[in-house]
Structure 1
Amino acid sequence: MSLSSALSIAMSGLRANQAALSIVSGNVANANTPGYVAQTLVQDQIVTGSTGSGVRVIGVNRTLDTYVQSQLRTENAGGAYADQIANVLGQLQNVYGTPGNDGTLENALNNFTSALQALSASSGNTAAQSSVLNAAQALAQQLNATTSGIQTLRSNAEQDLSVSVSQANAAMAQIAQINQKLQGMSAQDPAAATLMDQRDSAVDQLSRLMDVRAVTDGANQTSVFTTSGIQLVGGVQASTLSFNAQSSLTANSQWNADPSKSSVGTIICQLPNGAKIDMIATQSINSGQIAADVQLRDKTLVQAQNQVDQMAATLASALSDVTTSGTKTAGPPVSYATDLTNVLPGNSFNVTYTDSSNVQHNVTVVRVDDPTARPIPNTASNPNDKVIGVDFSGDAASVAAQLSAALGSSNLNFSGVGMSLQVTSTAASTVNAASTTTTVQSLASGNPQLPFFTDRASLYTGAITGTASQITGLAGRIQVNAKLLADPSKLTIYNTSPVTPAGDTTRSDFIFDQLTSATYTYSPNTGLGAAAAPFKGTLPSFLQQFVSVQSSAATTAKQVAQGQDVVVNTLQEKFNAKAGVNIDTEMTNLIALQNSYAANAHVMSVVQSMMQTLLQAQI
């Protein structure tokens, strides 16, 4: 080997050392930079013929484990989802308050029933009457406040979705822009490494918002898809998300796949080719903060609202609804006549019959005058029973005709004259009973029932229309009947002709028993029980049950979030062990480079000395 060759090789070694030192210094300087991936120098031997003639620098490598990176992104989405659910359910617990403390539904209901018990002990006492009304108002206000708290959380989720969509758009646009910059660049280009760090950070940010997977091709172009298969970024083109956020949500603000019926925002993804996809309707986002906010806004918090609405509805109906049995007429055949005069929208006509197979059936016919609201869902828990909606705005003959059409298979005969509806047995079916359940409209109807609670200034009857059911959001509107507040004596006096005798506790005893002892069936949309086996119990037991369920859900969500955080942290540590900067390793590399640099410099010094000696010898 000639001296000039040795000198060239040593110089190439020095250049490689300088490049490696630059990499080490960059790693050390960025040791705490978020998203920075440690780099190593890529170098190759220069071969002339069959003899090594130096070293050349090819570029840099980013030291990361792409499999662990992919897993980390998946768990990041799960972690963001779990954290958001736990956070909001914790806030919902604050809305409910600590059981037994002041400012809770449980405490307000207990105070109300205690005041009623005291009223029965001193019927007619004005102070006791005032205490009952004050306690009732406090209960209504607590229901109002609970609804306000739930809807505030839903509104927050709506605004979070708007922010998340903006962040997702920024991340997707950044990924596409970096893809464009990387076109034609080698993956080992030092400038490319910095861009790839930035691109990975954008993908990581996107993974916390929704469940995504990133695929990088041989041209160093990264495409991003949702796990459901929708392409968010393809090369230099990015899809765009849009969200029509609503300013403030109420209990009636509900998502619907039909845009004309939806009153909350939905997420539309516009692909580069112009096609549009409703990401919520197609369930295209299954994890991440966006999925959590959708779940909370449209399901979890809606169910919480259903629970307090059901409590408010039961509270009102239990005190105001009266069931009147039909009059059995002379037979055979057996028939029952019922008066439909007082059946208001939401009230019902009920008939029980036995078919030829000796199977008993119960049919509940709800007054639903709005044709756009019919047919109503069959909410009967027993498969032998039915719940149907019928227009009662006409006379009994009109109702009979509708029932004959709807219940033709029951083999019952329906007829009507004026407002009297008659149902008659046939050879195939025997009528066992018929009745109407109506809402008492007067404070002194002669019945212990009274419209104690109202839907603002209106009676609560459970009316159903094409736009909404009266029960939706009732907890936010319920109040003590203004007429009762103006005349507290009606807590005792339920009849004026003859006047309820002094000391009569019929009404206060009735109210107390309805609120503490009577058993009711609650809708499965409260999350308690199931359609085939709905939750049944007293009003206090229902309240305790749904508060307990919410508390358990919050505790479980917190535990899931903590477990998910452990998984994310473990994967992050594993990723950092490979991709992060290890100062000890860099210092070791620095010492090795220092020695290598000194060795190459020494070679150059020796070659220089030898060349000088040769020159002097020639002279």
Structure 2
Amino acid sequence: MLNALNVAQSGLYASKIAVENVSNNIANENTPGYKKRVIDQTELEHLDSRFYGRGVQASGAYRITSIYMSQNLMRETTRESYYTQRNEMLGDIEAIFKETDTSGLSKDLTRYLQSIENLRSSPNSEIYKSDLITHGSLLVNSMKTLYEDIEKAEALTKTSMQDNVNNVNAILKEIGKINEQLGQHKIASNDLLDRRDQLELELSKYANISSEDINGTYTLKIGNVVAIGNNTVIRDITVEDSFTPQQDRYLNSDGKTSSILNGVTFDNDDTITYKLNNTSEVSIQYGESIDIDGDGTFETVDETNYLRALVSKINNDPELSKTVVAYNGTYTKNPDGSKTTNDLQDNYLLIEAKDPGEAGNFNGRIVVTEQTDINDPTTVTNKSKVYRDEHQSKDGENSVQIYAFDAPISISSGVLKAQSENLTTDSYNNKFTVYKDKLDALARTLSDITDKFVKTGDTTYIEGEISTDGYTGDQNNIISVGLFSGGNVKTLTFNEKNVHNLDQTKLDYLATLQWKNNISFEGKGQDIAGVNASSFSEFYQELRINVSSDKESNNFLLKTQKAVTQSVQSSYDNLTKVDKDEEMLNLIKFQSAYTANAKIVTVIDEMLQTILGLKR
């Protein structure tokens, strides 16, 4: 009977603990990161071979969780954060390109073209000349403003990325402190484990992570790199920038020989001209004397030293030397930072930007002119354009990478992935660079096509400086306009002084550009059929459409990913979150158990009282 009393007493205690646990679950229903607790009730161990039990014990409360579902939720949260961040950045770009009925680049372009048409109808009108100057300048300013706004968006993204990295480091430190506290307890605190899980979920918004706790040893990885090891060893992550300069190599596919004189015999009065950004150029002529090595000794330019002569001309030109440095082949870096080349012979032309990274990008090309008399413009026998080898050259690149203890972290998703790839120029998903390249192509083509032309018929022309580079007729037929100059948006300039030199012939040519719909924007002249040839207006409208299309595509992906994340979150919550209805049923169940055990105690007490009464 006394044993039965002990059984009932243990039931009372276990039921009381269970009721208190239910109350705690209900109280923490809305606590962030809280996972419902379940009381571990087990039968008390038998002390002998008697067949009846000794009661129940409430040995502790454990959390309801799932490592598999938790990792899955973090993975989907990372993906959603990636698309959310991209959506924010693309939204900023879309706002930059937004136009009204009276403002925007397309409106400025239309007004500029109309001002050309107006001046064409009255070439001597000072009012129309002033109008053209106004709208030409506004067109340049509008393009520069768009470009600068994209650069501002990049700068804000970079600042935000640094802030996010600081947040990640703060979360890592907090997880380390929790692990330190957990190490001070023999039994892990459920509250601390909940907090650590919540921090992991928050961390997963920034980058793809994985964690494991094996035999009390906790490890957390960001991407492929351990960020927390052995519970409390924390590696801070940093943002590292690297910039590489643009390098143009005029080289054959063999990787050894120069591509400048392929099929050309360099002799007589032939010239080789290097042109930079449609603004500056230098030339060397066969037979001229040049101090190639800068030692005061002059050498006669011929087919054996023309490369070194061209390198010398480029590096000593006051304009070109501000932007680029020329080398006779691949250079070797010395400990003091200087660069040396093998100048015992001509190798190949290497042009490198002075400013590293995207900011130093430039446009260059070479024109080889074969003629018998440099003083006679009708004696040109051949002109060939030479461009850099695209496979062996490279544009200036900006790279933004996440590091931990000098080890690069390869992340596949999350906020930091979206930001880093849009700040790294060679990233396939970099939209900032794509839009800026399109604007540069527009500026470069506008500069080229309004610079020079040759009239070949009543309404037919060879358009642009790059195209006239290949013109072998009487060079006096090449008419210089020079209305715009520059090789990209940053160097684009409207030369208003040349407006006063526009005659009827030049205006007739410029007027054809407003309805010309086969303009090539590939940067290799209008005599090369462009794959995506269009008009100025169509090219810019296509750019705006691409901006909106990118935003809509990302919206769709974000909406889809949100649905996936919500589904996983719902399944995870059903398992781990407090269900008030379920808890109320448990409360009724444990209250009934408490009442039943209390009834047993009461009955046994009455039986004992009866027995004691019999003895008297």
Would the TM-score normalized by the shorter structure come out above 0.5? yes
1:481 aligned to 490, 495, 514, which one? Answer: 495
Q: Is contact 1:224-1:232 (8 Å) kept?
A: yes
Per-residue deviation at 1:27? 1.1
Match of 2:404 in 1: 269
Match of 2:359 in 1: 252
Bigger drift between 14-23 and 609-618 goes to 609-618
Q: Is contact 2:454-2:478 (8 Å) kept?
A: no
CA 1:262 to 1:320, structure 2 compared with 1: closer, same or farther past 3 Å?
Answer: closer
Q: Tell me whether 1:157 sits opposite 2:194 in the alignment.
A: no
Per-residue deviation at 1:602? 1.7
Match of 2:416 in 1: 290
CA 1:140 to 1:479, structure 2 compared with 1: closer, same or farther past 3 Å?
Answer: same
* In 2: Cα distance, 1:435 partner to 1:180 partner: 83
Q: Which runs of 5+ in 1 are unaligned?
A: 255-260, 271-275, 326-345, 352-432, 438-444, 455-459, 463-470, 494-504, 526-531
CA 1:533 to 1:508, structure 2 compared with 1: closer, same or farther past 3 Å?
Answer: closer
Q: Is contact 1:524-1:535 (8 Å) kept?
A: no
Match of 1:302 in 2: 433
Match of 2:18 in 1: 20
Match of 2:196 in 1: 199
- The residue identity in structure 2 corresponding to 1:234 is G
Matches within 5 A, 1:334-345: none
* In 2: Cα distance, 1:22 partner to 1:131 partner: 84
Secondary structure of 1:252's counterpart equals helix
Q: Tell me whether 1:537 sits opposite 2:534 in the alignment.
A: yes
2:481 aligned to 435, 450, 457, which one? Answer: 450
Match of 1:555 in 2: 552
* In 2: Cα distance, 1:240 partner to 1:215 partner: 19
CA 1:253 to 1:76, structure 2 compared with 1: closer, same or farther past 3 Å?
Answer: farther
Structure-2-length-normalised TM-score: 0.67
* In 2: Cα distance, 1:452 partner to 1:18 partner: 90
CA 1:302 to 1:64, structure 2 compared with 1: closer, same or farther past 3 Å?
Answer: same
Bigger drift between 114-123 and 237-246 goes to 237-246
Per-residue deviation at 1:207? 0.8
Q: After superposition, what is the alpha-carbon deviation per residue over 1:494-547, rounded to whole angstroms, capped at 9, x for unaligned?
A: xxxxxxxxxxx222222232354164433499xxxxxx9853333222212222
CA 1:297 to 1:516, structure 2 compared with 1: closer, same or farther past 3 Å?
Answer: farther
Identical aligned pairs, as a percentage? 21
Match of 2:460 in 1: none
- The residue identity in structure 2 corresponding to 1:81 is Y
Match of 2:389 in 1: none
* In 2: Cα distance, 1:197 partner to 1:551 partner: 42
Match of 1:320 in 2: 451
CA 1:446 to 1:350, structure 2 compared with 1: closer, same or farther past 3 Å?
Answer: closer
Q: Tell me whether 1:86 sits opposite 2:87 in the alignment.
A: yes
* In 2: Cα distance, 1:533 partner to 1:194 partner: 65
* In 1: Cα distance, 2:23 partner to 2:560 partner: 38
Q: Tell me whether 1:239 sits opposite 2:235 in the alignment.
A: yes
Match of 2:118 in 1: 118
Q: After superposition, what is the alpha-carbon deviation per residue over 1:229-268, rounded to whole angstroms, capped at 9, x for unaligned?
A: 322222322221012589xx996289xxxxxx97675422
CA 1:303 to 1:111, structure 2 compared with 1: closer, same or farther past 3 Å?
Answer: same
Secondary structure of 2:60's counterpart equals strand
Match of 1:613 in 2: 610
Matches within 5 A, 1:159-174: 159-174=159-174
* In 1: Cα distance, 2:11 partner to 2:30 partner: 30
* In 2: Cα distance, 1:523 partner to 1:596 partner: 82
- The residue identity in structure 1 corresponding to 2:78 is A
* In 2: Cα distance, 1:576 partner to 1:41 partner: 19
Match of 1:602 in 2: 599
- The residue identity in structure 1 corresponding to 2:154 is R
Match of 2:132 in 1: 132
* In 2: Cα distance, 1:583 partner to 1:286 partner: 38
Q: Which runs of 5+ in 2 are unaligned?
A: 243-355, 362-395, 425-429, 457-464
Match of 1:378 in 2: none
CA 1:451 to 1:251, structure 2 compared with 1: closer, same or farther past 3 Å?
Answer: farther
* In 1: Cα distance, 2:602 partner to 2:118 partner: 107
* In 1: Cα distance, 2:579 partner to 2:76 partner: 24
Match of 1:225 in 2: 221
Match of 1:590 in 2: 587
CA 1:436 to 1:25, structure 2 compared with 1: closer, same or farther past 3 Å?
Answer: farther
Q: Is contact 1:320-1:449 (8 Å) kept?
A: yes
* In 2: Cα distance, 1:533 partner to 1:567 partner: 43
- The residue identity in structure 2 corresponding to 1:543 is Y
Per-residue deviation at 1:226? 3.5
Q: Tell me whether 1:208 sits opposite 2:205 in the alignment.
A: yes
- The residue identity in structure 2 corresponding to 1:539 is F
Match of 2:313 in 1: none
* In 2: Cα distance, 1:23 partner to 1:262 partner: 59
Match of 1:419 in 2: none
* In 2: Cα distance, 1:133 partner to 1:206 partner: 55
CA 1:119 to 1:586, structure 2 compared with 1: closer, same or farther past 3 Å?
Answer: same
* In 1: Cα distance, 2:221 partner to 2:144 partner: 43
CA 1:316 to 1:119, structure 2 compared with 1: closer, same or farther past 3 Å?
Answer: same
Match of 1:342 in 2: none
* In 1: Cα distance, 2:201 partner to 2:474 partner: 61
Per-residue deviation at 1:53? 0.4
* In 2: Cα distance, 1:210 partner to 1:578 partner: 25
Q: Is contact 1:11-1:604 (8 Å) kept?
A: yes
CA 1:148 to 1:4, structure 2 compared with 1: closer, same or farther past 3 Å?
Answer: same
Q: Is contact 2:518-2:534 (8 Å) kept?
A: yes
Q: Is contact 2:112-2:139 (8 Å) kept?
A: yes
Match of 2:462 in 1: none
Secondary structure of 1:44's counterpart equals strand
Secondary structure of 1:53's counterpart equals coil
Secondary structure of 1:79's counterpart equals helix
Q: Is contact 1:519-1:539 (8 Å) kept?
A: no
* In 2: Cα distance, 1:76 partner to 1:143 partner: 38
CA 1:447 to 1:128, structure 2 compared with 1: closer, same or farther past 3 Å?
Answer: farther
Secondary structure of 2:38's counterpart equals strand
* In 2: Cα distance, 1:481 partner to 1:533 partner: 27
Q: Is contact 1:14-1:601 (8 Å) kept?
A: yes
CA 1:26 to 1:533, structure 2 compared with 1: closer, same or farther past 3 Å?
Answer: farther
* In 2: Cα distance, 1:73 partner to 1:592 partner: 35
Match of 1:8 in 2: 6
Match of 1:97 in 2: 98
- The residue identity in structure 1 corresponding to 2:602 is S
Structure-1-length-normalised TM-score: 0.66
* In 2: Cα distance, 1:251 partner to 1:554 partner: 24
Q: Is contact 1:320-1:450 (8 Å) kept?
A: yes
* In 1: Cα distance, 2:473 partner to 2:28 partner: 80
CA 1:349 to 1:231, structure 2 compared with 1: closer, same or farther past 3 Å?
Answer: farther
* In 2: Cα distance, 1:296 partner to 1:102 partner: 31
Q: Is contact 1:324-1:435 (8 Å) kept?
A: no
Secondary structure of 2:33's counterpart equals coil
* In 2: Cα distance, 1:513 partner to 1:89 partner: 35
Per-residue deviation at 1:166? 1.0
Per-residue deviation at 1:295? 1.9
Secondary structure of 1:61's counterpart equals strand
Per-residue deviation at 1:349? 10
Per-residue deviation at 1:555? 0.9
Per-residue deviation at 1:184? 6.9
CA 1:523 to 1:291, structure 2 compared with 1: closer, same or farther past 3 Å?
Answer: farther
- The residue identity in structure 1 corresponding to 2:483 is F
